[in-house]
Amino acid sequence: MAQRSKAVICREVNKPPVVEEIEVDSPKAGEVMIKLDACGVCHSDLSATNGTIPLPPPLILGHEGAGKVVEVGEGVTDLAVGDSVVSCFVYSCGECRYCKTGRLVLCNDASKAYFTLPTGDLRTKDLSGNPLHIFSGVGVMAEYATVNRKNVVKIEPDIPADRAALVGCAVMTGVGAAINTAKVEPGSSAVIFGAGGVGLNVIQGCAIAGAQTIIAVDMVDKKLEFAQQFGATHVVNPNSDGDPVAKVREITGGAGADYGFECIGLGSVAAQAYSAVGKGGTIVVVGVAKMGDMTSVPTTLLPMEEKIITGSWFGSARPSVDYPRLLGLYKANRLKLDELVTQTYSIDDAPRAFEDLEKGVNARGVIVF
Ligand code: NAD
Ligand code: ZN
Ligand code: ZN
């Protein structure tokens, strides 16, 4: 049954998002409709509103949601009404060579679901009947969303939705970057540039993996306090402590860190991460920079330093395996989710959640429905 729903929408790039009533259609074959309970506010949502991530408005924001299935489309046999689910912001077909080799985030069809369902269809329209795009094929900053079955993972029902939602992006992306992508080794050292929702989870991913030295770099002291709570052993604020690369070298006895993570989305910081990492180390770019942004590395040193530069998308997730693992770690008190949710907002208050994200107020702000 079609549902009336409030949704947070980017109507116009470089304008604050707006909250509107919309209509969400029933799921077709291979789709499910979910009633959202919570959705985190990620910097990528903000990036869609300011053109850093170029997606066409009008666009329903949100890609970090948790809720319950209220309707299943034809052919969906492994989900039922009432199941608790968390969204995935990368569509994986399950059939292409990347999916078949376990690299789901590189799926050849992922780009089909950047702002529509993977079929190219939309089940969302405004009250004038005009179609509304959906961020990352999900658009879950809304009371209801109809999404492809492959864009959700079933979870156990006993986990509070405002916690579970964060596994849909910040936690999977951050912890996954440390554990799945970089494969951080026990006893190693890591530097994390940017201690926002994603960076804090890289920090806790490094801690879970047993890194000995975890250095957080951020311009905001409050973020560095959060960083310590999430496992950082050292913090650096470039505004008061000076050049972060020199600081990292100092902390690591001159060697540089074994791993460097860029969690902001700036080529200049990716270059800092390159320099802060020692010989043979790994640089992981997680932040999404604006189109055209470039980074540079010292070409002469590339061969003799044997550093590895890589990206990490959605924490190199295998969501149906990784979400339950992460939530299991949470239940075992080994993964912090409660501490991430520093503020919740009603959907009507969503524009303020975006302002707070820009100001750097929260570890993660979460909209609860
Ligand atoms: P956030 O706004 O919560 O955090 C960013 C942090 O960077 C803030 O704490 C800010 O103070 C800090 N910062 C900004 N400029 C800095 C600088 N020059 N030096 C040091 N610190 C600086 O954002 P988030 O939600 O954590 O997202 C971080 C980035 O990751 C964004 O670019 C987002 O689009 C991207 N992202 C990537 C993926 C992925 O799959 N790779 C997934 C989600 C988000
Ligand atoms: Zn995100
Ligand atoms: Zn695929």
- Quick: pLDDT tens for 158-188: 999 999 999 999 999 999 999 999 999 999 9
Look at ligand 1, atom 31, and give the residue with the nearest C-alpha.
287
Percent of the chain residues topping a pLDDT of 90? 100
Ligand nearest to the CA of 358: 1
Whole-number pLDDT of residue 157? 96
Distance 365 CA to ligand 1 centre (A): 14
Measured in whole angstroms, the distance separating CA 321 from the mean position of its chain's CA atoms is 17
* pTM score of the predicted model: 0.98
- What is the distance between the terminal CA atoms of the chain, rounded to a whole angstrom? 20
Distance 265 CA to ligand 1 centre (A): 6
Whole-number pLDDT of residue 155? 98
Whole-number pLDDT of residue 119? 98
Give the separation between CA 114 and CA 63, rounded to whole angstroms. 11
Whole-number pLDDT of residue 217? 99
- E-only strand ranges, the chain: 3-10, 18-24, 31-40, 59-60, 65-72, 84-87, 124-126, 133-134, 144-148, 152-155, 189-193, 213-217, 234-236, 257-262, 277-285, 308-311, 341-345, 364-368
CATH number of 3-168+339-368: 3.90.180.10
Find all residues with CB under 8 Å of 265, minimum gap 6, and list them: 43, 47, 52, 287, 288, 289, 290, 293
The arithmetic mean of pLDDT across residues 317-325, rounded, is 98
The arithmetic mean of pLDDT across residues 252-271, rounded, is 98
Q: In DSSP terms, which residues pair with 311 in a beta bridge?
A: 285
Percent of the chain residues topping a pLDDT of 70? 100
Domain 174-312 is in which class?
alpha beta
Q: Residue 13, SS3?
A: coil
- Quick: pLDDT tens for 103-153: 999 999 999 999 999 999 999 999 999 999 999 999 999 999 999 999 999
Distance 256 CA to ligand 2 centre (A): 29
Look at ligand 1, atom 36, and give the residue with the nearest C-alpha.
287
Banded model confidence at residue 197, pLDDT cuts 50, 70, 90: very high
Mean pLDDT for the chain overall? 98
- Is 336 within 8 Å of 197 (Cβ atoms)? no
Measured in whole angstroms, the distance separating CA 86 from the mean position of its chain's CA atoms is 13
Whole-number pLDDT of residue 311? 98
Would 3-168+339-368 and 174-312 be classified into the same CATH topology?
Answer: no
- Quick: pLDDT tens for 14-33: 999 999 999 999 999 999 99
Q: In DSSP terms, which residues pair with 362 in a beta bridge?
A: none
Whole-number pLDDT of residue 315? 98
- Tokens linked to 200: 């804090």
The arithmetic mean of pLDDT across residues 266-270, rounded, is 98
Residues with CB under 6 A from ligand 1: 42-44, 47, 169, 173, 193-199, 217-220, 223, 238, 263-266, 269, 286-288, 312-314, 357, 360
Domain ranges of the chain: 3-168+339-368, 174-312
Banded model confidence at residue 207, pLDDT cuts 50, 70, 90: very high
- Quick: pLDDT tens for 327-358: 999 999 999 999 999 999 999 999 999 999 99
Distance 120 CA to ligand 3 centre (A): 16
Give the separation between CA 149 and CA 136, rounded to whole angstroms. 14
Banded model confidence at residue 66, pLDDT cuts 50, 70, 90: very high
Banded model confidence at residue 9, pLDDT cuts 50, 70, 90: very high
